[in-house]
Amino acid sequence: MKIAAMTFRLHAPWVHSLKEKRMTVKSLIAKLQNKFHVSAAEIDEQDTHQIIVIGVAAIVPHNAMADSLMEEISLFVEENTEAEIIDEEREIL
């Protein structure tokens, strides 16, 4: 059993309030949880309007599945938000 963990740092230049940011974050997290059945949450920069940091984690049976899942999630995030991906970290524990 392995744990696939990812962190996304996104830049959303159109966001000018925490309320706008919260709507964007909640939407993306809900989509990730519904499609991939993973744990996802905003993990940093909660008080910064235009920076979004989301952590995603899933339990998988082996490294190959972890790699595949993380690639799918990465493509999904890119396609399902207008925010620019500044940084992405992947880890298999």
Which tokens go with 91? 């880890």
pLDDT tens-digit map of 5-43 = 999 999 999 999 999 999 999 999 999 999 999 999 999
Determine if the pTM surpasses 0.85.
Answer: yes
Average confidence score pLDDT of the chain: 95
Residue extents of the structural domains in the chain: 2-92
Fold of 2-92: Alpha-Beta Plaits (3.30.70)
What pLDDT was estimated at residue 72?
97
